[in-house]
Amino acid sequence: MRAQASVEFISVIGLFLLLLAIAFGLYFSKQSDLALLKNYSEASSICDVVADSFSNAFVSGDGYSSSVDLPATLSNGIGYEILVFGNSSLVQVRYGERIVSCRITAPSVYSGSENFTANYSFTVSNQGGVVIVS
């Protein structure tokens, strides 16, 4: 009788540990998905801030100037790069192997050339209807 109780007890504990291992596996899988979604959300927000700063400069007219300060990394430490394609009115934020894009409403954005990489801190101004990034 005691042997049967011991076997049943060990079986119940084993089943409990198996269920616990499955639950941890599902939890960590969802954590990974959540981290990807958070990175996408932050990169999308950065893209919108950059595009909006260009659009605001264009709409505000000649003489407008404003500074933009962005974080150097996403919140989990992943670096990113901001690419501006002024000739196609597009901003891209590249992080890891992923890319987020957004449109610029300003017809021309310039920083030495129409296509450039923006810094994490820059000044955007309107000079004669052309948006200049420095």
- For 71-104, the pLDDT digits (tens) are 999 988 999 999 999 878 899 999 989 999 999 9
Q: What pTM, to 2 d.p., does this model score?
A: 0.78
* Spatial CA neighbour of 100 closest among 109, 112, 91: 91
59-70 average pLDDT score: 94
27-53 average pLDDT score: 89
Distance CA 107, CA 8 (A): 75
Q: 26 lies in which domain range?
A: 2-133
With pLDDT > 90 as the criterion, what percentage of the chain qualifies? 52
Question: Residue 32: what pLDDT?
Answer: 77
- In this structure, the dihedral spanned by the alpha carbons of residues 47, 48, 53 and 59, taken in order and rounded to 10 degrees, is 130
The count of domains in the chain is 1
Query: Is the torsion defined by CA of 32, 37, 38, 43 positive or negative?
Result: positive
